[in-house]
């Protein structure tokens, strides 16, 4: 079986799919699926995520692609030729970009099934953003893309429900993103980050690690931190993540206006050992998001043994059910009511919560297990296997 995955970008700073899609393709390759990966390369947004054992189809994103939602005639032609060369299924990831249209066109031209992973872009909050642009894209090609899908892939039951709420009745494979368990025996020292940011020295770390974007609840977190910072001088807030549209600078100004600039560090995008050090040495992770289809940063924190505070905008009720975090409504008061007791817990209790979170990831979110589920869904769609339990047809 040969599958071509299509995603607008796999450059590291462009968000979760830039990491999870290449990782899924590699996991499928390890499971015996010949996996191709087609994307544009936005060099200004960081290095492409590696995808071992995956054949890459990549073209530089020129000016028309950068400013025109990925519009690229050369990529369109290359993808059509590639899919026509023996691909048996096209798996498109994301919406609203021209590469998503090109995936549908290539699948139709080759006469092969199209699978679509919305990647959080059919959630109510996401649909409410940039409505005018999305209105035009919807009528230009996105509605037809979704209608053409033979199967959807949702990373949570909630995302599958969102597809049904929009009126789409095709089968939905509910399969989460995967996560690799890091080796915590060799935890990177705190010193690497402390040398770069001396204000972290000797403090407990409250870590936020995601895009700096209005969707992520950064304003609410800063307002809650304004109340907490004076009471907990031994804690420090780290707001780590890429700033693609200037929102990070807005939040730096917000922290200054709230009088807490000295108690917040904005290290930018963390990668490699710096990211591992932040996650492995954090005392508590927080992501007060408005909407997530999965929330890969939450899984990363749990995999590193860190308890998590997140909101009901993320599909992580398991935090509460498995005793490894707090799952709350998004509001200043709710954040305060969760963060304060979490910070007050003895360190040993937080470590025990983190241990339970790591066990949850190992049990349910291994990449090998995710790949086997996806492979089974593909085989069913191609008429080669029985319907898996995780494929919804109702």
For residues 107 and 175, what is the distance between their CA atoms, to the nearest angstrom?
Answer: 22
Number of domains comprising the chain: 2
| Percentage with pLDDT > 90 across the chain | 82
Mean pLDDT confidence for 249-261: 96
Is the pLDDT assigned to residue 310 strictly greater than 80? yes
375 and 260 inside one domain = no
Taking residue 112's Cβ as centre, other Cβ atoms within 10 Å add up to 20
For residues 176 and 157, what is the distance between their CA atoms, to the nearest angstrom?
Answer: 9
Pairing of strands 235-240, 264-268: parallel
Mean pLDDT confidence for 152-165: 93
Residue 326 belongs to domain with CATH number: 3.40.50.2000
For residues 49 and 180, what is the distance between their CA atoms, to the nearest angstrom?
Answer: 15
Domain of 345, in residue numbers: 184-364
Over residues 166-219, the pLDDT tens digits come to: 999 999 999 999 988 888 887 778 988 999 999 999 999 999 999 899 999 999
263 and 143 inside one domain = no
Taking residue 247's Cβ as centre, other Cβ atoms within 10 Å add up to 18
Range scoring the smallest mean pLDDT among 106-110, 281-285, 365-369:
365-369
67 and 122 inside one domain = yes
157 and 199 inside one domain = no
102 and 125 inside one domain = yes
Residue pair 54/371 in contact by the 8 Å Cβ criterion:
no
Q: What is the 3-state secondary structure (H, E, C) of the chain?
A: CEEEEEEEECEHHHCCHHHHHHHHHHHHHHCCCEEEEEEEECHHHCCECCCCCCEEEEEECCHHHHHCCCCCHHHHHHHHHHHCCCCCEEEEECCCCHHHHHHHHHHHHHCCCEEEECCCCCCHHHHHCCHHHHHHHHHHHHHHHHHHCCEEEECCHHHHHHHHHCCCCCCEEECCCCCCCCCHHHCCCCHHHHHHCHHHCCCEEEEEECCCCHHHCHHHHHHHHHHHCCCCCCEEEEEECCCCCCHHHHHHHHHHHCCCHHHEEEEECCCHHHHHHHHHHCCEEEECCCCCCCCHHHHHHHHCCCCEEEECCCCCCHHHHCCCEEEECCCHHHHHHHHHHHHHCCHHHHHHHHHHHHHHHHHHCCHHHHHHHHHHHHHHHCCCCCCCCCEECC
221 and 360 inside one domain = yes
192 and 166 inside one domain = no
298 and 373 inside one domain = no
89 and 224 inside one domain = no
| Percentage with pLDDT > 70 across the chain | 99
For residues 264 and 340, what is the distance between their CA atoms, to the nearest angstrom?
Answer: 17
Over residues 112-146, the pLDDT tens digits come to: 999 999 998 887 666 767 777 888 888 889 999 99
123 and 221 inside one domain = no
For residues 67 and 45, what is the distance between their CA atoms, to the nearest angstrom?
Answer: 14
Mean pLDDT confidence for 297-308: 96
Would you say how long the chain is, in residues?
394
Global confidence as pTM: 0.80
Q: What are phi and psi of 238, to 5 degrees?
A: -110, 120
Cα–Cα distance list, 259 to 23, 75, 136, 200, 316 (Å):
41, 48, 42, 18, 32
Closest to 298 measured CA to CA, from 392, 380, 216, 196 = 216
Q: Is 122 left (phi over 0), alpha (psi -120 to 50) or beta?
A: alpha
Most confident of 192-196, 294-298, 347-351: 347-351
Residue pair 382/161 in contact by the 8 Å Cβ criterion:
no
Residue 243's pLDDT is 86
381 and 328 inside one domain = no
386 and 261 inside one domain = no
Over residues 21-54, the pLDDT tens digits come to: 999 999 999 999 999 999 999 988 889 999 999 9
Residue 125's pLDDT is 66
Residue in the structure block whose two tokens are 């968000």: 15
Is the pLDDT assigned to residue 291 strictly greater than 90? no
Residues 272, 278, 282, CA angle at the centre, nearest 5°? 155
Over residues 316-340, the pLDDT tens digits come to: 999 999 999 999 999 999 999 999 9
Mean pLDDT of the residues in the chain: 94
Residue 13: band (very low, low, confident or very high) from pLDDT cuts 50, 70, 90 = confident
Residue 23's pLDDT is 96
């Amino acid at each position: 079986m040969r599958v071509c995955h299509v995603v607008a970008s796999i450059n590291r700073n462009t968000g979760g799919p830039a990491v999870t899609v290449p990782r899924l393709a590699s996991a499928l390759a390890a499971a015996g699926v010949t996996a191709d990966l087609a994307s544009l390369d936005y060099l200004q947004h960081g290095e492409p995520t590696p995808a071992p054992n995956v054949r890459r189809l990549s073209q530089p994103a020129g000016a028309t692609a950068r400013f025109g939602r990925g519009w690229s005639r050369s990529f369109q032609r290359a993808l059509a030729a590639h899919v026509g060369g023996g691909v048996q299924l096209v798996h498109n990831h994301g919406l609203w970009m021209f590469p998503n249209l090109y995936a549908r066109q290539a699948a139709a031209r080759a006469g092969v099934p199209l699978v679509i992973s919305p990647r959080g872009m059919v959630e109510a909050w996401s649909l409410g953003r940039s409505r005018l642009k999305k209105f035009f894209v919807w009528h230009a090609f996105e509605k037809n893309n979704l209608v053409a899908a033979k199967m959807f892939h949702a990373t949570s039951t909630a995302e599958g429900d969102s597809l049904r709420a929009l009126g789409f009745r095709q089968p939905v494979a509910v399969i989460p993103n995967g996560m690799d368990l890091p080796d915590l025996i060799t935890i990177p020292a705190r010193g690497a980050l402390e040398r770069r940011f001396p204000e972290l020295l000797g403090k407990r770390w409250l870590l936020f690690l995601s895009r700096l974007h209005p969707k992520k609840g950064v304003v609410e977190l800063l307002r809650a931190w304004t109340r907490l910072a004076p009471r907990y001088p031994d804690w420090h807030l780290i707001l780590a993540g890429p700033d693609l549209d200037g929102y990070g600078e807005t939040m730096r100004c917000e922290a200054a206006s709230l009088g807490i600039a000295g108690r917040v560090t904005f290290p930018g995008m963390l990668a490699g050992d710096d990211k591992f050090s932040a996650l492995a040495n954090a005392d508590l992770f927080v992501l007060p998001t408005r909407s997530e289809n999965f929330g890969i940063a939450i899984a990363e924190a749990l995999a590193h043994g860190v308890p998590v505070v997140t909101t009901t905008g993320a599909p992580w009720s398991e935090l509460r059910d498995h005793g490894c975090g707090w799952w709350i409504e998004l509001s200043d008061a709710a954040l305060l009511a969760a963060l304060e007791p979490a910070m007050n817990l003895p360190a040993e209790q937080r470590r025990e919560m983190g241990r339970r979170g790591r066990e949850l990831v190992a049990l349910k979110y291994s990449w090998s297990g995710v790949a086997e589920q996806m492979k089974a869904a593909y085989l069913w769609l191609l008429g080669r296997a029985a319907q898996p339990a995780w494929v919804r047809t109702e």
